[in-house]
Amino acid sequence: GEDVEQSLFLSVREGDSSVINCTYTDSSSTYLYWYKQEPGAGLQLLTYIFSNMDMKQDQRLTVLLNKKDKHLSLRIADTQTGDSAIYFCAGSNQAGTALIFGKGTTLSVSS
C-alpha cells in the first residue's frame, strides 16, 4: 500500500531556510499536501501542490515535486521561531478515500 516517509527532526537557526523532505510510493495522488501541527493543536493545511506541477510558491513557502523520484519538499524561507512545529506531508490512498500521512518532521528553530 501507499507509504509516505519523512525525516523525523530538523533543527535550524532563525533566519535560515528550512527544507523538509518527503518520499512517497504511490503516484496516483492528484494532490500532495503539507500540514503543520503546533503543540496541542490539530493539523493545519499549509499548502498543497497539484501532481502535474513541479513547483508552487506561497509567500515564504516553496513546494517542489519530483514525480520521477516521488519526492516532495517544503522549503520555508527566513524561518522564524513561530515556525517551530511538526510538519506532515500527505497524499491520497489508491481508492481516493483517505489521506496517507508521513510520521511528521519536528522542526526546531533556535534564535
Partner 1 sequence: SQTIHQWPATLVQPVGSPLSLECTVEGTSNPNLYWYRQAAGRGLQLLFYSVGIGQISSEVPQNLSASRPQDRQFILSSKKLLLSDSGFYLCACTGLTGAQHFGDGTRLSIL
**Cα angle at 11 between 79 and 102, to 5 degrees?**
95
Among candidates 36, 7, 27, which has minimal Cα distance to 91?
Answer: 27
Minimum Å gap between C-beta 37 and partner 1 is 8
Q: Where are the alpha helices (DSSP H) in 1-111?
A: none
Grid cell at residue 31: 494532490
Minimum Å gap between C-beta 71 and partner 1 is 19
Contact 42, 21 (CB under 8 A): no
- Tell me if 99 contacts partner 1 by CB under 8 A: yes
Contact 24, 30 (CB under 8 A): no
For partner 1 (CB under 8 A), the number of binding residues is: 22
Q: Which of 11, 25, 44, 94 binds partner 1 (CB under 8 A)?
A: 44
Please tell me the distance from the alpha carbon of residue 99 to that of residue 20, in angstroms, as a whole number.
Answer: 19
Minimum Å gap between C-beta 96 and partner 1 is 7
Site string for partner 1, 56-95 (x = CB under 8 A): --------------------------------x-x-x---
Question: Contact residues for partner 1 (CB under 8 A)?
Answer: 30-31, 33, 35, 40-45, 48, 88, 90, 92, 96-99, 101-104
